[in-house]
Amino acid sequence: MIDLEFSEQQQLLQHTARNFFAAQCPIAKVRSLETSDLGYSDELWKSMAKLDWVGLSYPTELGGAAGSILDLYVLYAEMGRCLAPTPHLASSVIAGETILRGGSEAQRGRLIPEMSRGDLIVAPALTESDGAYGADAVQLVAQADGENGYRLEGAKILVPYAHVAGQLLVAARTGSGPDGVTLFLIEPGAKGVDVEKLGNIANYPLFAVTFDGVAVSRDAIVGPVGAGWATLEPVLDRASVLQCAEIVGAGEAVLDIAVNYAQQREQFGQPVGKFQAVQYLCSDIAIDLHLTSLLARQAAWRLDAGLPHAREVALAKAQASESAQHMVRQAHEVQAGHGFMMETDLQLYTRRAKHWEFNLGDVHHHLDAAVAAL
């Protein structure tokens, strides 16, 4: 059966989420949160938790709602549409699902219910100073230190929400090769950990975290030693697809902005949207977001169905990274000087699109991954 429509429940979730974010996260709030100390709203986050969205994909016995990736896809498209600033992708998906997969029963029981309630944020610390993405890029050293633990030495960058995280989920190198990565849970307040804010284009809460001989006990390891990347990789696939969904939702908003402007703005005695050159720009945006949506929905569905998905995920994120950049460029051409002004909303999307383009692997990474998957 070839059916690309969302289920009735998913359509209901879409409707609820659209109304929720329109009411709870209007664009004025997005603007004010961006420059606030926290960079997000704990009130909004807790409201999402009450709706079971923070732990949407977690098992019910751990406080979740046992949702699928397609359910999350629907939620992410709506968060993208209104640019909701939340730690969902970092904490609920990347950290939470890694703990669910790799963590001990004790770790799961202790952390996941608290995360579902929105009371605990766990920040994944994966990227290092060269910005590379993948197992090879993990170079931060975890040196065995006696019987009971490890010492971590090195730095992570682009760590989201480290300022409010109760735990950091750190990928570190305990051996060579892809089987030499181990995951550690470390409190940001631990001795030797330093957290430094990174100014960035989207004003995202992104941080550099340095580890200066930080002592970690063995019970802070998530999953077997050396199996860190194997635990993380399937979660990053899921996260990549959700990043695509966020881009699709934002793309729909960008398309609305461009089309509305082209319909209303008059020059040379007619709406500029009557000029074919402007119609081209608008149709480019529609094509970008539509192709991203088709490829990302396919990838999400394959993840849910338990089918091989490396190629489909890689192609979806390659498309999404390309589209994220291209659709805002075309929208800037439509809105011209007006779109360059901070008072217009387009720039809010433009700046976040740059984060999304590179988050979880850029177009080069994913095109290569798609070929590797053949």
Partner 1 sequence: MDIRFTPEQDAWREEVRDFLDAELPPEKAFDVEFDEDEALWEFSHAFTKKVGAKGWLGLNWPTEYGGLGRPPIDRMIMSEEFEAREAPLSGSIGWGLTAGSLLAGGTEEQKQHWLPKLGRMDLHVAEGLSEPAAGSDLASLTTTAKRDGEHWVISGEKTYTTWGTHADWLFTAARSDLTASRHRGITMFLVPLDLPGVSMSPMLNLGGGRQNHTFLDDVRVPHEYMIGEEGGGWHMIMNAFYGGGIHAGHAYYERAFAAVLEHCKQTRRGDGLLIDDPIVRQQLGQLALIAEQLKMLTYESVSNFNNQKPPSFGGAIGVVVSKEARPRFFELCNRIVGPLCQLQEGRFAPMRGQVEAWYRHSYANHAGGTSQVKRMVLATRGLGLPR
Q: How far is the CB of 374 from partner 1 (least distance, A)?
A: 7
Site for partner 1 in 283-302 (CB under 8 A): 283, 286-287, 290-291, 294-295, 297-298, 301-302
Among 95, 126, 235, 367, binds partner 1 (CB under 8 A): 367
- Which CA distances in Å does 272 have to 5, 133, 279, 291? 34, 42, 9, 26
Among 25, 49, 70, 164, binds partner 1 (CB under 8 A): 70
Task: Confirm or reject binding of residue 7 to partner 1 (CB under 8 A).
Answer: yes
Query: Which among 17-25, 83-91, 166-174, 275-283 is the span making contact with partner 1, rule CB under 8 A?
Result: 275-283
| Upper half-sphere CA count for residue 78 (Cβ side, 13 Å) | 25
Tokens for 103, please give them.
């963590």
Task: Confirm or reject binding of residue 305 to partner 1 (CB under 8 A).
Answer: yes
Tokens for 227, please give them.
């199996």
Task: Confirm or reject binding of residue 282 to partner 1 (CB under 8 A).
Answer: yes
**Amino acid (1-letter code) at residue 55:** G
Task: Confirm or reject binding of residue 3 to partner 1 (CB under 8 A).
Answer: yes
State the DSSP string of 311-367: HHHHHHHHHHHHHHHHHHHHHHHHHHHHHTSTTSSHHHHHHHHHHHHHTTS-HHHHH
- Which CA distances in Å does 301 have to 68, 74, 128, 252, 308? 9, 12, 31, 21, 11
Closer CB to partner 1, residue 231 or residue 323? 323
Task: Confirm or reject binding of residue 319 to partner 1 (CB under 8 A).
Answer: yes
Task: Confirm or reject binding of residue 112 to partner 1 (CB under 8 A).
Answer: no
Q: How far is the CB of 304 from partner 1 (least distance, A)?
A: 8
- Residues 73 and 107 sit within 8 Å (Cβ to Cβ): no
Work out the angle between the directed axes of helices 310-339 and 228-264 (0-180°, nearest 10).
Answer: 30
Q: Is 151 left (phi over 0), alpha (psi -120 to 50) or beta?
A: beta
Task: Confirm or reject binding of residue 264 to partner 1 (CB under 8 A).
Answer: no
Closer CB to partner 1, residue 164 or residue 370? 370
The distance in angstroms from the start CA to the end CA of the chain is 25
Site for partner 1 in 244-263 (CB under 8 A): 255, 259, 262-263
As to burial, measured by CB atoms within 10 angstroms (0-12 exposed, 13-18 middle, 19+ buried), residue 43 is exposed
Q: How far is the CB of 269 from partner 1 (least distance, A)?
A: 12
Give a three-class secondary structure readout of 238-287: HHHHHHHHHHHHHHHHHHHHHHHHHHHCEECCEEHHHCHHHHHHHHHHHH
Site for partner 1 in 335-364 (CB under 8 A): 364
Site size with partner 1, rule: CB under 8 A: 47
Task: Confirm or reject binding of residue 366 to partner 1 (CB under 8 A).
Answer: yes
Contact string 139-178 vs partner 1 (x = CB under 8 A) = ----------------------------------------
Tokens for 135, please give them.
């197992």
Residue 297: alpha-carbon gap to chain centroid: 16
The sign of the torsion formed by the CA atoms of 315, 320, 321, 327 equals: positive
Closer CB to partner 1, residue 302 or residue 352? 302
Q: How many other CB atoms sit within 10 Å of the CB of residue 281?
A: 22
Among 106, 189, 276, 337, binds partner 1 (CB under 8 A): 276
Residue 135: alpha-carbon gap to chain centroid: 18
Contact string 188-207 vs partner 1 (x = CB under 8 A) = --------------------
Task: Confirm or reject binding of residue 46 to partner 1 (CB under 8 A).
Answer: no
Q: How far is the CB of 333 from partner 1 (least distance, A)?
A: 14
Closer CB to partner 1, residue 46 or residue 338? 338
Which residues of the chain form contacts with partner 1 (CB under 8 A)?
1-7, 10, 70, 255, 259, 262-263, 270-271, 273-274, 276, 278-280, 282-283, 286-287, 290-291, 294-295, 297-298, 301-302, 305, 311-312, 314-315, 318-319, 364, 366-368, 370-371, 374
